[in-house]
């Protein structure tokens, strides 16, 4: 409502240039519309996350800056209405309609955005993704989010323009070990042979930040790595210092470089179990030494020198310190042939 900010059921009818809404009396809509929203010059926001407890909102802003918040009954219904309303808004511009359909069925990460940037935004306490407690088959998980909540967040923050794009992007975040599945349903989905089905756009599929996994899951689940990526021949291993993705602090990690398939995994030496806490494929990566005169952009904290950087094919930046220039050269020379 515009005057009293309550929520009321209305019957909506979409026309070519306007959206009519009718009052419901006795289960039937009244003959005359209660109001109308002129679509010329409108902008649409979907999903709209301005109301934390109402994830199924569409926001329409008219060219006179009047805001309408419309709540649907399901995500499927919300997205269907949003697509049809968007089509009506751009009906007089066929080129824009064609572009909308093209974008809906394609995906390309924006050139000026990296997965690392997205994760940084996700962690933001005010605008990031909301973390909640969830229960799955008797196991309690702290600081988790659902698959559909992440898809909504990616779209509302303009990292994706459709649910197809957002699911693809979320799968990339999972592949690069920024987020991980928790609970039976989402974990089992990762075994799917279809990449588009590994991440679930679902309100019952649970995920969390990979760095928080061991601290926050009360079950015995650990970060899962594909058996094949840990089966390669060990080419080189040793201790290096790595900058964290979230807090930008530096921690000693035992790195293991494998070939066939080419992966670089890192382990926490303070943990007794021999399981990696992170890792990534080296295919398509770039590796280079960083000069010791000055601190490069993206590097924070206590830097002793002998830095090198690895950039993955998805533009994730890893900053690593070796103990000497010789060791840095040895690691770079070992990694380069595997990229």
Same domain, 256 and 161: no
**How far is the first Cα of the chain from the last one, in angstroms, to the nearest whole number?**
57
110-134: pLDDT as tens digits:
445 677 888 888 988 778 898 888 8
Same domain, 74 and 39: yes
Consecutive H or E run containing 85: helix 75-89
- The average pLDDT across 309-322 equals 86
Contacts of 137 (CB under 8 A, 6+ apart): 183, 184
In total, how many domains does the chain have?
3
191-201: pLDDT as tens digits:
765 656 788 88
Same domain, 94 and 142: no
Task: Give the CATH number of the domain where residue 146 resides.
Answer: 1.10.10.10
- The average pLDDT across 239-258 equals 85
Consecutive H or E run containing 23: strand 18-25
Q: Quote the CA–CA distance of 330 and 236 in Å, as a whole number.
A: 9
Same domain, 89 and 140: no
Q: Is residue 4 part of a domain?
A: no
Tokens of 60: 């329409």
Q: Is residue 222 part of a domain?
A: no
Q: Is residue 221 part of a domain?
A: no
Q: Quote the CA–CA distance of 268 and 3 in Å, as a whole number.
A: 57
Residue 328's closest CA among 308, 305, 302, 310?
A: 308
16-40: pLDDT as tens digits:
889 999 998 887 889 999 999 999 8
Q: Is there a contact between 262 and 339 (Cβ–Cβ < 8 Å)?
A: yes
Q: Is there a contact between 106 and 182 (Cβ–Cβ < 8 Å)?
A: no
- The average pLDDT across 265-281 equals 83
181-236: pLDDT as tens digits:
888 888 888 776 565 678 888 888 899 998 754 444 333 333 455 666 788 889 99
Q: Is residue 180 part of a domain?
A: yes
Beta bridge partners of 242: 251, 320
Q: Is residue 219 part of a domain?
A: no
3-state SS class at 46: strand
What's the distance, CA 302 to chain centroid? 29
Same domain, 82 and 132: no
Q: Is there a contact between 63 and 41 (Cβ–Cβ < 8 Å)?
A: yes
Task: Give the CATH number of the domain where residue 281 resides.
Answer: 2.30.29.30
Same domain, 245 and 282: yes
Tokens of 71: 């709540």
Q: Is residue 277 part of a domain?
A: yes
Q: Is residue 109 part of a domain?
A: no
The pTM of the full predicted model, rounded to 2 decimals, is 0.43
Same domain, 99 and 119: no
Number of residues written out for the chain? 339
Q: Quote the CA–CA distance of 166 and 155 in Å, as a whole number.
A: 7
Of 104, 129, 149, the residue at which a domain comes to its end is 104
Q: What percentage of the chain has pLDDT greater than the value 90?
A: 22
Of 62, 77, 104, the residue at which a domain comes to its end is 104
Same domain, 119 and 93: no
Q: Is there a contact between 309 and 290 (Cβ–Cβ < 8 Å)?
A: yes
Range of the domain at 305: 227-336
Are β-strands 10-14 and 317-321 bridged in parallel, bridged antiparallel, or unpaired? Answer: unpaired
Q: Is residue 34 part of a domain?
A: yes
Same domain, 251 and 329: yes
Sign of CA dihedral 230, 231, 236, 239: positive
Higher pLDDT, 136 or 156: 156
Predicted pLDDT at 257: 94
Predicted pLDDT at 296: 61
Of 35, 70, 104, the residue at which a domain comes to its end is 104
């Amino acid at each position: 409502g515009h005057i009293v900010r309550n929520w009321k059921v209305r019957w909506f009818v979409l026309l070519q240039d306007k959206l009519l809404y009718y009052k419901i009396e006795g289960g039937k809509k009244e003959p005359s519309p209660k109001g109308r929203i002129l679509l010329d010059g409108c902008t649409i926001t979907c999903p709209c996350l301005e109301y934390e407890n109402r994830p199924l909102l569409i926001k329409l802003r008219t060219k006179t800056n009047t805001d309408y918040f419309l709540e649907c009954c399901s995500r499927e219904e919300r997205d269907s209405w949003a697509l049809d309303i968007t089509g009506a808004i751009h009906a007089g511009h066929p080129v824009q309609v064609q572009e909308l359909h093209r974008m809906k069925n394609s995906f390309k990460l924006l050139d000026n955005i990296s997965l690392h940037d997205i994760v940084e935004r996700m962690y933001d306490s005010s605008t990031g993704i909301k973390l909640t407690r969830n229960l799955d088959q008797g196991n309690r998980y702290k600081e988790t989010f659902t698959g559909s909540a992440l898809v909504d967040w990616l779209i509302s923050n303009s990292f994706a323009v459709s649910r197809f794009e957002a699911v693809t992007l979320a799968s990339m975040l999972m592949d690069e070990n920024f987020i991980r599945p928790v609970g039976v349903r989402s974990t089992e989905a990762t075994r799917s042979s279809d990449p588009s089905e590994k991440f679930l756009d679902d309100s019952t599929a649970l995920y969390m930040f990979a760095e928080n996994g061991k601290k926050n899951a009360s079950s015995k689940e650990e970060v899962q790595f594909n058996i094949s990526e840990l089966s390669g021949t060990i080419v080189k291993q040793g201790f290096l210092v790595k900058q964290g993705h979230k807090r930008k602090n530096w921690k000693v990690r035992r790195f293991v470089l494998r070939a066939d398939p080419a992966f670089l995994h890192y382990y926490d030496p303070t943990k007794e179990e021999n399981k990696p806490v992170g890792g990534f494929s080296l295919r398509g990566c770039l590796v280079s030494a960083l000069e010791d005169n000055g601190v490069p952009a993206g590097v924070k904290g206590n830097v002793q020198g002998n830095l090198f950087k690895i950039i993955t094919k998805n533009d994730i930046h890893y900053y690593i310190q070796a103990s000497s220039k010789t060791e840095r050269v040895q690691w770079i020379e070992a990694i380069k042939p595997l990229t």
